[in-house]
Copies of this chain bind each other. A is one copy, B any other.
Amino acid sequence: MSTPAAQKTAISPRREEDFPEWYQQVVRAAELAEPSDVRGCMVIRPWGYGIWENMQRQLDTMFRATGHRNAYFPLFIPLSYFAKEAEHVEGFAKECAVVTHTRLEVDAEGKMKPASALTEPLVIRPTSETIIGASYAKWVQSYRDLPVLINQWANVVRWEMRPRLFLRTTEFLWQEGHTVHETEAQARAEAMLILEIYERFTREHLAVPVFTGAKSESERFPGAVQTLTIEAMVQDRKAIQAGTSHFLGQNFSRASGIQFQNREGKQEFGWTTSWGMTTRMVGTMVMAHGDDDGVILPPRVAPTQIVILPITPKEDTRARVLEACDALALQLRGKHFADSAIEVEVDRRDLGGGVKNWEWIKKGVPIRVEIGPRDLEKNSVEVSRRDQAIKSKESMSIQEFAAGAPEILMSIQQNLYDRAKKFQEANTRVIESKKEFYDFFTARNANKPEIHGGFALAHWNGSHEVEEQIKNDLKVTIRVIPLGDGEPGHCIFTGAPSRQRVVWAKSY
């Protein structure tokens, strides 16, 4: 292991040198996840999974509070089900893992081979509209059975040729909500409610500001009438689609036969929605807040919020130092930050203090506290905040720190949000001409990388041809069409009338 002193930063390359490679290195260095030998699949290590568990708990609380309940549906979708909705199957056909056999046998050459072929192949769910729809068709008979408000936490598989840890993996973890409503208005309101939950979760828990709104037709979920999205900006100024909520109209209820007797006694197809947020959020958060020394975790999702590092240079003071660390940990664990008890770890491992300190920096733990023999004499601790310069330490009395810890955590959470918000604002620009638009996304200046790209707010005439052209020329797409009344104007590409500005960016 190279010592941190030998290099300027703990992570190499630095963000401005090679952002994608920086990201891979940060994820590995923080022990969040690593690639597995199974192509495109990742191993989520305990530190990364702990972040995901916090996200799950918090999102789940929001879903429950709005009347949703969890359930679980099969991993396998019979091919015939999957093919019921034409756009849907077309959208996913190129990335489906297919189970064709249910047994292994040793062949004549002594090699293990698949055996017992299935009559109908099974698709591993890339998303569950069709398999869940089959159940809903049985459960829903009358308007009295509505709404159905169900969420599922599950793994899904979409075969991925260019995997990237958390952001794009063949297998990923997510929640997928699937609801059925009596009226179109209720289903549209549900899709909006979830969009608001996603926005609030991302802002309050991940400390990441987002743009919200609808996708253009070409970026919609296959089979949806409307796809709502939240789009985050990360530090290379690209967009990440961080959560989507779909109004599906009656498309999937027709395909699955979800029908009910309405209040007038007539048979009607249900109005459905679906919505999902994935382990991609872990990557988004890393890309939004990390620095050249590693991950920086918002306290609300950190698996450990405070790590206590005992400094034990001599045997004779060792026991007393450890005792003081344990006492402080006990005191902190009795305190709350946001909705739960503060998570504290005393790192008693028999490694050098510098090595341990740098491990925790790279992992992004919000607060590091050092206690050594000299601190004990003064009844003080040395406190480092991960959102401040690595070398900065504040000395304070143990009592003062213990009392103020929740407030420091709150301050870190807020500071990360403020920084990200400022960055987003600084890199979002209203653009009024095609030239300015092309310049914005193509200008390269090694000394001032901040002038290259970001989010562009520009008028657009609604045409798919324009979208295609921009995508081909610049790899830029419409990330989101803000909701509500926009300011009318003229498309900067065609001059045709435009109802509002839309958000353009390069994206992951």
Which A residues lie at the B interface, using CB under 8 A? 34, 36-38, 41-46, 48-50, 52-53, 69-79, 81, 83, 89, 93-105, 112-114, 121-124, 131, 134-135, 144, 150, 154-155, 157, 159, 171, 173, 349-351
Contact A72 B173 (CB under 8 A): yes
Q: Using Cβ atoms and an 8 Å threshold, which residues of chain B touch A36?
A: 73-74, 131, 134-135
Please measure, in the bound complex, the distance between the C-alpha atom of A135 and the C-alpha atom of B105, giving whole angstroms: 27
Contact A72 B95 (CB under 8 A): no
User: In the complex, given contacts A36-B134, A41-B74, what are 7 additional A-B residue pairs having Cβ atoms less than 8 angstroms apart?
Assistant: A38-B74, A46-B150, A72-B173, A75-B171, A94-B103, A94-B104, A144-B351
Please measure, in the bound complex, the distance between the C-alpha atom of A105 and the C-alpha atom of B95, giving whole angstroms: 11
Please measure, in the bound complex, the distance between the C-alpha atom of A81 and the C-alpha atom of B96, giving whole angstroms: 23
Q: Using Cβ atoms and an 8 Å threshold, which residues of chain B touch A83?
A: 112
Contact B121 A114 (CB under 8 A): yes
Q: Using Cβ atoms and an 8 Å threshold, which residues of chain B touch A73?
A: 36, 43-44
Q: Using Cβ atoms and an 8 Å threshold, which residues of chain B touch A76?
A: 38, 41, 97, 171
- Could you show 19 A-B contacts with beta carbons less than 8 Å apart? A36-B74, A36-B131, A37-B78, A37-B134, A38-B122, A38-B131, A43-B72, A43-B73, A44-B73, A45-B71, A46-B71, A76-B97, A94-B103, A95-B103, A98-B103, A100-B101, A103-B159, A113-B121, A124-B124
Please measure, in the bound complex, the distance between the C-alpha atom of A83 and the C-alpha atom of B104, giving whole angstroms: 10
Please measure, in the bound complex, the distance between the C-alpha atom of A123 and the C-alpha atom of B52, giving whole angstroms: 26
Q: Using Cβ atoms and an 8 Å threshold, which residues of chain B touch A48?
A: 71
A497 to chain B, nearest CB (A): 41
Top 8 A-B pairs, shortest CB-CB distance: A41-B74, A46-B69, A44-B72, A93-B104, A98-B114, A98-B101, A102-B159, A100-B100
Residue of A41, A71, A171 with most partner-chain B CB within 10 A: A71
Q: Using Cβ atoms and an 8 Å threshold, which residues of chain B touch A351?
A: 144
Please measure, in the bound complex, the distance between the C-alpha atom of A351 and the C-alpha atom of B159, giving whole angstroms: 47
Q: Using Cβ atoms and an 8 Å threshold, which residues of chain B touch A94?
A: 103-104
Please measure, in the bound complex, the distance between the C-alpha atom of A53 and the C-alpha atom of B87, giving whole angstroms: 35
Q: Using Cβ atoms and an 8 Å threshold, which residues of chain B touch A171?
A: 74-76
Please measure, in the bound complex, the distance between the C-alpha atom of A249 and the C-alpha atom of B1, giving whole angstroms: 32
A381 to chain B, nearest CB (A): 25
Contact B75 A104 (CB under 8 A): no
Please measure, in the bound complex, the distance between the C-alpha atom of A154 and the C-alpha atom of B93, giving whole angstroms: 25
Contact B100 A114 (CB under 8 A): yes
Q: Using Cβ atoms and an 8 Å threshold, which residues of chain B touch A70?
A: 46, 49-50, 53
Q: Using Cβ atoms and an 8 Å threshold, which residues of chain B touch A112?
A: 79, 83, 89, 93
Q: Using Cβ atoms and an 8 Å threshold, which residues of chain B touch A79?
A: 104, 112
Q: Using Cβ atoms and an 8 Å threshold, which residues of chain B touch A100?
A: 98-101, 114
Contact A99 B102 (CB under 8 A): no
Given contacts A72-B49, A74-B41, A155-B75, contact A103 B99 (CB under 8 A): no
Please measure, in the bound complex, the distance between the C-alpha atom of A89 and the C-alpha atom of B157, giving whole angstroms: 24
Identity of the chain B residue whose Cβ is nearest the Cβ of A112 in the assembled complex:
B83
Q: Using Cβ atoms and an 8 Å threshold, which residues of chain B touch A69?
A: 46, 49-50
Identity of the chain B residue whose Cβ is nearest the Cβ of A279 in the assembled complex:
B72
Identity of the chain B residue whose Cβ is nearest the Cβ of A157 in the assembled complex:
B75
Identity of the chain B residue whose Cβ is nearest the Cβ of A100 in the assembled complex:
B100
State which of B93, B105, B349 has its C-beta within 8 Å of the C-beta of A105.
Answer: B93
Q: Using Cβ atoms and an 8 Å threshold, which residues of chain B touch A74?
A: 36, 38, 41-43, 171
Identity of the chain B residue whose Cβ is nearest the Cβ of A148 in the assembled complex:
B46
Contact B124 A104 (CB under 8 A): no
Contact B96 A104 (CB under 8 A): yes
Please measure, in the bound complex, the distance between the C-alpha atom of A295 and the C-alpha atom of B349, giving whole angstroms: 49
Identity of the chain B residue whose Cβ is nearest the Cβ of A169 in the assembled complex:
B74
